[in-house]
Amino acid sequence: MKARKRISKILTVILLLLVSVIILIPFWFLLISSFKPAADIFGNGLNIKLDFSKMSFENYMKLFHVQDGIFWIWFKNSVVITVIQTVLVLVFCSMVGYGLAQYNFKGRNLIFTLVLVMLMVPGDILLIPMYKLVTNLGLMDSFAGVILPGVVPAATVFFFRQYAIGLPRDYGEAARIDGAGEFRIFAQVYAPMMLPAYGAMTIMTAMGAWNNFLWPLIVMRSDENLVIPAGLLTAMTPYGNNYDIVFSGSMMSIIPIIILFLLNQKSFINGMTIGGIKG
């Protein structure tokens, strides 16, 4: 029996290792490609041969030289958009979620139903009217145009609502008796209790904003306003001579988020298992 258990344990590890290897291979491709001359990859396709005589840090140096280091401008744009969007999403969604969970008011069920409906509708169907709206608001090619439409996503509202509904109402009542205002009760009593939810949603929102592609692609028109994913794709068009920064730039854009992940694994996983599944 013991021997059988041991064998099954070894088999599990082998199976899991196999899946891990398959998952890690593309990262390995990306890593070695970032050291290779881009012409080689664009001409011959991606290959796994390790030819150290051809490999160098040149592509990384080019991140600073190609178009006067435009990659770092994209990088800065991505950081700015990610930070602003994340802060706004957290503030607004936690407010809405808290409001829906901790108060009884006329229309609450209606609003919550709307949140649920929004979860089931693909937002991208509104691409064209949104484009028109943002154009008419004069927000094209601006950070505000990228950020504003995504500032209260239904999924995040739902997450905060599910979290806040588990919080006892007594604390709020006690604070009210002490004369605290409603916003102070939220900011000083309940927001601190929702810290784990903030942690999970910070990471999920930041990741989404950092990797967002389609909407910034439409809103941002000028080269120096692009975010990293859109920028890297323009670097792949045959006109520009920017091939070399595609793979090194990709590496630079996944490293921050992987570091963030390794530092906050738990919140990350919590964020994925969006509490709502139980509801």
Which of the ranges 57-65, 67-75, 109-117, 194-202 carries the binding residues for other proteins, by CB under 8 A?
Answer: 109-117
Is residue 195 close enough to count as binding other proteins by CB under 8 A? no
Q: What is the largest CA-CA distance in the chain?
A: 75
Shortest gap between Cβ of 67 and other proteins (angstroms)?
Answer: 19
| Nearest CB to other proteins, comparing residues 50 and 126 | 126
> Interaction with other proteins in 228-267: which residues (CB under 8 A)?
228-230, 232-233, 236, 246-247, 250, 253-254, 257-258, 261-262, 265
Shortest gap between Cβ of 153 and other proteins (angstroms)?
Answer: 9
Residue choice 54, 65, 132, 221 for contact with other proteins (CB under 8 A): 132
Is residue 167 close enough to count as binding other proteins by CB under 8 A? no
Q: What does the DSSP assignment read for 129-181?
A: HHHHHHHHTT-TTSHHHHHGGGSS-HHHHHHHHHHHTTS-SHHHHHHHHTT--
> Interaction with other proteins in 67-86: which residues (CB under 8 A)?
none
Name every residue whose Cβ is closer than 8 Å to that of residue 183 and which is 6 or more positions away in sequence. Answer: none
CA–CA dist 36, 28 (Å, integer): 13
Is residue 186 close enough to count as binding other proteins by CB under 8 A? yes
Is residue 14 close enough to count as binding other proteins by CB under 8 A? no
- Helices within the chain (DSSP H only): 2-33, 38-44, 58-65, 70-102, 108-120, 127-136, 143-147, 154-164, 170-177, 182-184, 191-193, 195-211, 214-219, 228-234, 244-263, 265-272
Is residue 30 close enough to count as binding other proteins by CB under 8 A? yes
Which of the ranges 63-71, 79-87, 113-121, 194-202 carries the binding residues for other proteins, by CB under 8 A?
Answer: 113-121
Is residue 27 close enough to count as binding other proteins by CB under 8 A? yes
Long-range contacts of range 170-173, CB-CB < 8 Å, 24 or more positions apart? Answer: 172/102
> Interaction with other proteins in 202-231: which residues (CB under 8 A)?
207, 210-211, 213-214, 218, 228-230
Burial of 49 (0-12, 13-18, 19+ CB in 10 A): exposed
Shortest gap between Cβ of 56 and other proteins (angstroms)?
Answer: 19
Shortest gap between Cβ of 43 and other proteins (angstroms)?
Answer: 7
